[in-house]
Structure formats: structure tokens, C-alpha cells
Amino acid sequence: MKQLFIFCISCLLLFSCGSKSTDQQTTDASSQSNPRQAVKIKGSETVLPVSEKAVQVYMKSHPEANISVTGGGSGVGIAALMKNATDIAQASRAIKFSEKEKIQESGKSVKEVVVAYDGLAVITHPSNKVSQLTRAQLEDIFTGNIKNWKEVGGEDLEIIPYARETSSGTYEFFKEVVLDDKNYMSGIMSMPANGSIIQSVSQTKGAIAYVGIAYLNKTVKALAVSFDQGKTYAMPTDQNVKEKKIPSGPPTILLLFI
């Protein structure tokens, strides 16, 4: 998956750098001494670790390139693209019809390229004795119907759910697939990035949250999840995503103007 993404993003970077070079040459003769301008990539936190690696690989063979990669969430990346504040938006959701309409109104067209599918991991504090949950239990936890770990086989401890911000494509995917399109509980702790969630969960004993598989580390505990009413449980691994033992996460999409 990473190799495919690296190839795709390299092609897009070539396209983007080349387009900027052509435009600059027609407007500024100095472009011949600096044919490549800075290229900005912004958006989904889920794909950020892989896109950063892809850019590193690209820049090794193109040291003259000036490429920056930042997160912020899918919605932030798409909004930046619409405002011409980024060259490529990375998203973990498809572009919305309303967003596409606004782009078309400006006289531009946007190209969507699906390059991968991510997997999500449900995580808790490492000391949590609960090792598995069903989709229905997760729905009840994140909608506020289950509020104590003892209700799902754990100790008598308040459950503290964390979610991504509403601008995140992962936020929308989790709501659709895990919560069955029900609303998150009122007052849920919203975090701006996967890294922030990892840090908060690792420091909060009763915490539970979800992150992209790429962000898993030893400071948190990943849970096995059942999507067949408790018949089988699967851990969040690349292999289980590939074998569809757990639902593949939101698509990794790159967007740019054409």
C-alpha cells in the first residue's frame, strides 16, 4: 500500500510542480533560474505519516524540490484547496457535492485520486482490562448509553471517549460505520489530530478513542473488535484490513486542480 501511495503522490507532485513551473515561466522570466516553486500538501491526519514518507522518498531523487506536508484534517485540507492555499489536499473522505459545486463556481475542476484504504484502531489506556468490544458496544459508548467500563466487563471506572474534530474524514467514517450514523454523545472530547488522541489516551486511565493504524504505538492498547455481533473478533492490523476481517477505513484521496 505504501509503495502504491508513494508512486501516486510522486506522479501528482511531478504534475503539480510542472504546472507551477509552466505558469511561472509565462509570467516571470526569473523562473528559468528557479523552475520549481514550493508545493504544499495539506489535510488528513490519518494519511500524514505515509505522505511525509512519500515526500521524503521523492525529494531524495529531486533535491531541488520544495515540498511541505501538514495535517489539520480532511475538511481543512479541502478548504485550503478551495482557497488556493494548498496545491494538493489529502483527505480520508470523498469531496462533498457542496464543496465540488463551490470549486466549479470558481471556474475550476478538481481531480480526485484514491490511492489507498486505511484501517482504524480502537484504543484504550494500557492498564484497561477490557481487550475486545463489539460494534454495538462501541456505538453505545460513543453515543453515551454506556458510561462505565464495568458495563462491558471492565473495572468500575468512568469511560472517557475521545473523537476527532468534525472536519476529520475519520470522524465521519467512524460515525457512519461504527455508530450506524447516530450522533456522537453530547460534550465528547474532540481532538485535532491522531497524535493528540494518542497522547491523551495514554495519560487517561478511562479513555477510549479511535486512530489510524499507522499511529499505533506502545503507549496505548489496541482492542479487538467484532462486526458480527460477537462471533469473531479481529485486531487492527494491515493483514486483517486486507482480508476484510475488519472494515477497511476511509479511502485515502488526493485532490488537486486540473
- Which tens digit of pLDDT belongs to each residue from 220-238? 999 999 999 999 999 999 8
Tens digits of residue pLDDT in 135-166: 999 999 999 999 999 999 999 999 999 999 99
Residue type, 21: S
**What whole-number distance in Å separates Cα of residue 151 and Cα of residue 169?**
30
Residue type, 8: C
CATH number corresponding to 2-117+251-257 = 3.40.190.10
**What whole-number distance in Å separates Cα of residue 247 and Cα of residue 243?**
9
Comparison of pLDDT for 123 and 64, the residue scoring more: 123
Whether 213 has a pLDDT exceeding 80, the answer reads yes
CATH number corresponding to 120-235 = 3.40.190.10
Cβ distance 148 to 173 under 8 Å? no
Tens digits of residue pLDDT in 13-49: 555 554 444 444 433 443 444 455 688 999 988 778 7
**pLDDT at res. 177:** 93
Cβ distance 43 to 72 under 8 Å? yes
Q: What are residue 41's DSSP bridge partners?
A: 69, 88
**What whole-number distance in Å separates Cα of residue 26 and Cα of residue 16?**
16
User: Would the CATH topology of 2-117+251-257 be identical to that of 120-235?
Assistant: yes
Contacts 24+ apart (CB under 8 A), 3-7: 4/115, 4/116, 5/47, 5/50, 5/51, 5/54, 5/115, 5/116, 5/252, 6/53, 6/54, 6/57, 6/58
Whether 9 has a pLDDT exceeding 70, the answer reads no
The pTM assigned to this predicted structure is 0.73
Q: Residue 91 — φ and ψ, nearest 5°?
A: -140, 150
Residue type, 12: L
In the chain, domain spans = 2-117+251-257, 120-235
Neighbours of 112 (CB within 10 A): 14
